[in-house]
Every structure is written in structure tokens, then in C-alpha cells.
Amino acid sequence: MLMSEESRSLGPAAVVAFSVFVYFALRATYNVFFHPLSNVPGPYTWSASRLPFIISLLNGTIVHEFQQLHRKYGPVIRIAPDEVTFAGAEAWTDILQPREQFLKDPVWWAKQPGNPDSIINAINPEIHARMRKTLAPAFTLRALRAQEPILHQYVNLLVEKLTQLASDASSSNETTEFDIAPWFNYITFDIFGDLGFGESFNCLQNSRYHPWIALLFNSVKAASFVAAARFYPLVEFLLLKIIPPSLKKMQRDHYQQIVDKVERRLNYELERPDIMSHVIAIDDKRGFSRDEINATFMVLTTAGSETTATVLGGTLNYLVSYPDKLHILSNEIRQRFSTFEDITLDVLFSLPYLNAVINEGLRLCPPIPWVLPRKVPASGATVCGTWIPGGTPVSIQQYTLNRDPSYFSSATSFLPERWLPDENSNQDSPFYNDHRDAVQPFSVGPRSCLGEHLARAELRLVLAKLVWKFNFSAPKGKVLEWEQLRTFLLVEKRPILVRMKPRQDL
């Protein structure tokens, strides 16, 4: 039979398409049934190809999809042909505190060629240790004591601005309903600006975002896309080629603003109890090179601000949704301090309910919902009882872990009581069997958060001073559901609406 013109020209294309199909089908079959990770549970589609992972990463739904997969397949799941994630408490020790360090996975952490290392993305353990040793003294409790007046200065400004906003609204008979989310960003970025560079971003003063910060939010989202592209080197190569020059310039200018801030700070003669003073105190051979300072302070501006702002927003959102808990907290704060000026970090440190509220906020709203992948050392390792071959990227799902009913009673409810000192020793308490150690919002081990004391201090001061000064409540039907927020490495920003009235009884 004679072949038609059309089918003859289709011939080679069909052969190519068929070959590609066969190649991918064989690869998927190998991945699912014969790969060294084939014994790890997980859905076939995710084990066969990286695509479902990429799609959910780009959609911002990855944390929620992992949660569903963990509920179905257990605490150890295969989430790509060559990658495993964990939602078991032992993962904190097995991955982050083993005898031989699991290094950060370059897919997520590698710097662009030619760029300097920063404390957060340095993969080489010696380089990282040098930086951490230099920076650590800036984050001790002693350092925090010296920084306390700076924190009060900004929290007082926040309270002043919100008081003004509430009184403007009530005098013009407008609703006293506010989106409080940006205000938490204003204060945390202003504090970091002051402690890092000796100059505030002036967001509180101007009641709006500094342009540098507005731009930053887009770049955090873009980082998910860059990570997705890195799984396909050709796509990454093409992506880097097609980035428009205007965007590259914007990126350079963004970085340059930090370089300029560092420059100005380094030229100060005055002694300040800030973070940079500890970096300056060490010479650049033992501490940071100038480029490393720039890169470190660039990432720290986000790591030290956006994280704390997320927890503040999440915790207040839960407090207004659980008015009985807000009432207990308000009583604790208002009874302990008869004047606003009496509020100090030392006293806040010992208030049981305030600290329980913060721990519960950190449990339900961890600003880093999944701890990004590390690579299993070449000799392989056992994680949560499962043998994982060397070189496999492994991560921890703290969002899933923190809401796991097998770890926590009423796991998805906001119940600060579970953190009160006696609840873990009282056999009649519903929280007696809670696994508090499973909650590690600041991570553990040699790469754990250096800023935990500072972050907790900010959380305590802001919540205590706000609750002392204002009566908060939830606007009917408009409370944000935390579970609906997407994640692009960090948690998506959405309005957090609250009603807020200055106390009348003062």
C-alpha cells in the first residue's frame, strides 16, 4: 500500500516521539521499581519523576501536599526519584546532629558563581564554622541585654503609631479593623536595620515599606523558581540567559544598597551594641572578608526579620481566633505590669503564659515550614529508622510534624496550655503525652538559628506591649486561616485583619 505524503513526513517525528516516550517510561519504571530508594514509601507518580514535586513547589502548595502524603504513607516518604523527606521527631537528631555532618544541598543553597559565601548558604563546614564563630557573640543573652534599649525604642514607636491609627479611625467613625501584618514587618525590618547597619529602614516612621523590602518579597518567591530550574541544568542555563538586563540591574541595585549600608556602618566611629560591632571586632582573616559581610548581612536582613514577623502575625491571628486564650494572656500581662514603662525583657522571660503562647505560635506558624534539604554523607545513614544511601537529599517537614495528632493532643488547635511547665508531668493533663521536643522552629545542631534569643525577645516585647495597651478581637468572618497560606520557601504574606481599641481603663 502506498504511504500518503502526510504519514511519510510524520514518520521521523513519530519515531522521535515514540523513542522519547519509551525513554521516559523506562526511566520511570526504573525509578519506581529498581532505584536504590524503591523501598521507601511514597506515591508512584512522585517516585517516578521530579515533575509533581516541581509543580507543587511552584504552586506554593508543597508543604500541604507533603502533609497529605505523610498522613497517607507515614513519617518517611519519597518525594522525587532521588529524594526523601521526614516528619518524625528523630529526624532532628538523625539529619541535623549526626556524627558526620549532612551538608546543605547545593540545589537549594549554592551561591551563583563568583558570588561570596554568606553564613546561611556556606556549604563548606570550615568556612561556615569561621563565620558562625565570629557572629555568635552578637546573639548571646549578654549581647541581647545591651541591645534591649534599641528593641524598646522600636516597640514603643509601633505602639505609638498603632494608637494614632486607632484614634484616627474612631474619631472619623471608621471601622477599627486593621491589617496588622505589614506593621509586624515594619518593626522587624526596622530593628534589623538598626542592629545590623546602624540605620533603621524607617518603615514605622513612614508607615510604609521601604522600597528595598518591597523588592525583597518578590525575590524570595523567585528563589523557589530558581531552585526548581536547578533540577534541570539546561532550563537553569536558559533561564539565566533570558533574564532581562533590567531585572539583572534591579538585582544588582538591590544588593548594592546593602553594600552601601555596610560601608556606612563600617565608617562609624561610635561604639554601638549592635550585630556589626562583633564582626568588626575580629580581623578579616579569622572572621569575615568584606564580601562575606555584604552577602551575610544581605541574607540576614530577611532571615532576621521576615521570620519573626510571620510568627508575630500568626500568633496574634490565633489569639484573636481564641478569645479565651487572649483573655488569659491579657490578664497575665496587665496584672504583672502596672505601667507600660515597667515592661522589661527580664520579667517577660519568666511569664509562663506569654512564653506558652509564643511556643504555641511557633508550633502552628513556623516561618520555615520545611527545613530545606541536606545531603546524606557518602557512606549512607539511617534516618527515622530507614537506611538512606549516600548523596540522597533529605529534609524535615516541621509543618506536618507540629500538627501530627500522634505527637500532640488536639494537634491543630491553638492551646498554649500544652507548654505550661506542669502539663508534661501531670498525668491527668491532656498534654501529658505531648512530644514538646518534636517542635524545633529554630532548628538544631551546628546550623541552628543564631538569632533565637533575639527573635524570642522581639516576640515577647511586641506581644506583651500590644496586649498591655490594646484590646484586640477578631473581625467577624474575616479571620485568616493559617492552613491556607502558601509557602515559597518562606510563608506567603496575606492580610491579617484584627479589631484593635486602646484600653479605656488606663
Binding positions for ligand HEM, rule: CB under 6 A: 119-120, 132, 192, 300, 303-304, 307-308, 311, 367-368, 371-372, 441-443, 447, 449-451, 454-455
449 is in an annotated binding site: yes
> Closest CB to ligand HEM among 337 and 370?
370
Q: Is residue 369 classed as helix, strand or coil in its secondary structure?
A: coil
With residues binned 3-state (H G I as helix, E B as strand, rest as coil), the percentages for the chain, rounded to 5, are 60, 10, 30
d(CA 157, CA 133): 33
Element (H, E) at 167: helix 141-171
d(CA 394, CA 126): 22
> Closest CB to ligand HEM among 308 and 392?
308
- Amino acid letter for position 301: T
d(CA 313, CA 275): 25
Please, what is the minimum distance in Å from the beta carbon of residue 303 to ligand HEM?
A: 5
Which parts of 32-184 are beta strand (E)? 76-80, 83-86, 103-104, 177-179
> Closest CB to ligand HEM among 52 and 313?
313
d(CA 466, CA 134): 35
CA 178 to chain centre: 24
d(CA 365, CA 120): 21
Would you state the cell numbers that stand for residue 263, as one nine-digit string? 560601608
Residues whose CB falls within 8 Å of the CB of residue 290, separated by 6 or more in sequence, listed in order: 262, 284
d(CA 159, CA 152): 10
Would you state the cell numbers that stand for residue 44, as one nine-digit string? 508512584
Closest C-alpha to 447, from 393, 373, 379, 397: 373
Contact by Cβ (8 Å): 103, 123: yes
Contact by Cβ (8 Å): 461, 348: yes
Beta strand pairing call for 381-383 and 370-375: unpaired
Detail the residues annotated as belonging to a binding site for heme: 449
